[in-house]
Structure 1
Amino acid sequence: MNYTYILLTILCTVYAQLVIRWQMKSAGVLPPGFTSKIAFVFFQFLNPWILSVCFASTLAIISWMAAMTKFEISYAYPFLSLSFVFVLLFSSLILGESLNIYKIVGTILVTLGVMVTFKG
């Protein structure tokens, strides 16, 4: 059950990043001018998908707090790097974003780093 908290944190974080990217692609570019930028961002909070991101982010925080009662931060925190791996994978598969050899090699290195930390 202890690792469930870390996994839930990762899943909520990945969900939030993918949904924000998806919704911001459809929202268009950030307008010029400070007031217009504030209005643009405020308007995004009326979007149910963005509200779901707020919920997922809150759940990630709560889950991380629970994980911190079970693990040392120096042990648990590297697992959050797996968020990067999943965001890269799903942004390519779902959102059609680019994937190249440098991103793949970097992702492998991150994963190996997490595995080394897990053994430690």
Structure 2
Amino acid sequence: MSYFFVAMTIALTVYGQLVLKWQVGLRPYLVQAPYTVANIIRLLANLWVISAFAAAFGASLCWMAAISRLPISKAYPFMALNFVLVLLFATTIFHESLDIYKVAGTLVIVIGVVLLSCSPA
């Protein structure tokens, strides 16, 4: 059950990041004047943005459940998978560039996660 909570933390975090990117990208007025009160209110009233914030809150609850059952030194390396998943989804959904540096960096992250998760508690 501990790793289920870690997985839910990751899934909810990735969901939130992708939804925020999607919603901000749909609003060209944010590019011209991103920090006006009116733009912030419009964004905060958006149901997708609200769902992303709810996902962040849910991820926090799942994270608390995970670290109450696992040593944080064992659980935390898995948070690096957020980088991997966001990169993969960003390249497929938003058509962001994927170059050798991003691939190499992602491989380093994956290797690190594997090594850290295999270490004794």
The aligned amino acid for 2:65 is A
Deviation for aligned residue 1:89 = 0.2
Question: 2:116 matched to which residue of 1?
Answer: 117
Distance in 2, Cα, partners of 1:16 & 1:85: 15
**Does 2:52 correspond to 1:50?**
no
Please show how residues 1-120 of structure 1 align to structure 2 within 5 Å: 1-28=1-28, 29=31, 31=33, 37-120=36-119
The aligned amino acid for 2:96 is E
CA deviations 1:78-120 (Å, max 9, x no partner) are: 1000000000000001111111110001000000000000111
Aligned residues with identical type, % of pairs: 41
The aligned amino acid for 1:40 is N
Distance in 1, Cα, partners of 2:32 & 2:73: 37
Distance in 1, Cα, partners of 2:45 & 2:55: 16
Structure 2-normalised TM-score? 0.92
CA contact (8 A) 1:30 1:37 kept: no
1:65–1:46 CA distance, 2 compared to 1 (3 A): same
CA deviations 1:21-65 (Å, max 9, x no partner) are: 111111121517xxx523212210111110110111111000000
CA contact (8 A) 1:2 1:70 kept: yes
Aligned length: 117
1:26–1:78 CA distance, 2 compared to 1 (3 A): same
- What is the SS of the residue equivalent to 1:97? coil
1:74–1:30 CA distance, 2 compared to 1 (3 A): farther
